[in-house]
Amino acid sequence: MKNLTVADLRRTAGRLLRSLWLHLTTPSANHTPLLGESPRAWLRRLPYFVALALLSSLIPTGIVVLVDSYALVLPVAGALTVAQTVPLLLAVTRPLPAWWISAATLVATASVTARYDQHGGTWPWTAPMILAYVFLLFALALRESRATLIAVWVATVALTALTTTLGLPRSGDGTTMLMIALSGAALLLGWAVRDRAEARRLLSEQEQISEVERERRTLLEERARIARELHDVVAHHMSVIAVQAASAPYRIPDVPADAAEEFTAIAGTARESLTEMRRLLGVLRSEESGGETAPQPGIGQLAQLAETVGRAGVPAELAVDDGLVAAVPQAVGLSAYRIVQEALANVVRHAPGAQAWVSLSADGPALLVTVVNGPPPERTESLEASAEGTGHGLVGMRERVRLVDGRLDTGPLPDGGFKVAAVLPLDTPADRDARDARDPLDTPRETTA
């Protein structure tokens, strides 16, 4: 009979361990695979291992204390100890029901031990009981609200007083106040740990939100800047159209009346378009920014840009194909200038003193813009930290490339330098559609920006 009981206990323990292991190793719907988990993911399983370690030490200790100090029979001592310690496993996910079980077991154990002769044991609480209850309260404080924690501590004080009263004429010893003090300390400690973890989580979320908002603000600012610059480019051509249309009847002799009226209508439409563009541009301008009066830069101003960067400590070599300045449309030239400007600014910020090479060449119907810099002369820890950057400059480059339906390729080089390469189409979307229609097998290249 004794062997049969031990075998049953072994089978029951085996089933419990297999169920626990299945629970620990089965990923949830939003859980990453076990082999790909970060160290932080293992922290979610740590409470289970702590609970198992406590059970393995408190169960035999509690049984020995109840049998030796209170002369309880082994089955009763085992049942009370298991009922007191097993809720530690439940406390990982359901701390409040686990507390109810533990509190009821505390009262039941103290009531049973009060009716047996004491052989040197403390009453009403033993050391294993206090440890199990304190750890359970700590787990409870990590999950429940403040009102629940206060109610649990008040209930602990009331249960201690009730248990001591039920044990009369036996009076409680120092463990009564020890239980009250340790339970309050465990609840306060768990409360503080949870509040600190919650504060760190909220801070991390706020940092992520701030980073997203910063990137979004940078993107919107770059788009507004592009819109203002395009306004200046388009406004110039619209102004020319308006002037040519208005002056055509005076410059061309013997213009028919119908043609003169048509020229007048064209000039009026151009002026209305300019007025609407200025009105819309006012929405994009901030209160601090005024109207830009200087002409927008292009490829012709890259030499001046390279000279300016050289004075900042970054020698830059510029190579531009002959005749490229006149062949590049103004919008494409503006985008190329801004890309080179941002790339060289990144070199000044993140690799001061490094050599830079700027190359612009025509490749069929596209403009190739390449900015490459070597490693900085001296590499320090502060420089490595700054080299990571925020990536906001790349956001502006991608918007410039997207403006003209181009491609952008950026990345570090094996020698420690950095490369920025852009392909900007020189023809218009209508020209590309016409070319694709003539050659159906010619498919456009994918955008890697």
At 300-351, the pLDDT tens digits run 889 888 888 887 778 889 998 888 888 888 888 888 888 998 888 888 888 8
Do 372 and 353 meet the contact criterion of CB atoms below 8 Å apart? no
Task: Determine the pLDDT at residue 222.
Answer: 74
In this prediction, residue 153 has a pLDDT band, given cuts at 50, 70 and 90, of very high
Task: Determine the pLDDT at residue 134.
Answer: 93
Q: Where are the domains of the chain?
A: 2-26+37-173, 211-284, 299-438
Whether the per-residue pLDDT at 424 is higher than 80: the answer is yes
Q: Alpha-carbon distance 420 to 411, whole Å?
A: 7
Q: Alpha-carbon distance 1 to 393, whole Å?
A: 79
* Burial category of 293 from C-beta neighbours within 10 Å (exposed 0-12, middle 13-18, buried 19 and up): exposed
Which residues partner with 363 through β-bridges? 366
Give the mean model confidence (pLDDT) for residues 411-433. Answer: 81
Selection from 106, 67, 86 nearest residue 12 by Cα: 86
**How would DSSP label each residue in 224-291?**
HHHHHHHHHHHHHHHHHHHHHHHHHHHHSTT--HHHHHHHHHHHHHHHHHHHHHHHHHHHHS-SS---
The H or E element spanning position 10 is helix 2-25
Give the mean model confidence (pLDDT) for residues 249-274. Answer: 82
Task: Determine the pLDDT at residue 399.
Answer: 79
Q: Name the pairing type of β-strands 316-320 and 356-363.
A: parallel
Give the mean model confidence (pLDDT) for residues 418-441. Answer: 68
Whether the per-residue pLDDT at 21 is higher than 50: the answer is yes
Considering only 95-99, 326-330, 438-442, which range has the smallest mean pLDDT? 438-442
Which residues partner with 360 through β-bridges? 320, 369
CATH topology of domain 299-438: Heat Shock Protein 90 (3.30.565)
Task: Determine the pLDDT at residue 405.
Answer: 86
Q: Alpha-carbon distance 343 to 347, whole Å?
A: 6
**How would DSSP label each residue in 317-364?**
EEEE-TTHHHHS-HHHHHHHHHHHHHHHHHHHHHSTT--EEEEEEEET
Give the mean model confidence (pLDDT) for residues 345-358. Answer: 86
Per-residue pLDDT of 110-145, as tens digits, reads: 888 877 655 556 778 888 999 999 999 999 998 888
Angle at the Cα of 16 from the Cα atoms of 76 and 131, rounded to 5 degrees: 55
Task: Determine the pLDDT at residue 384.
Answer: 44
Give the mean model confidence (pLDDT) for residues 369-373. Answer: 93
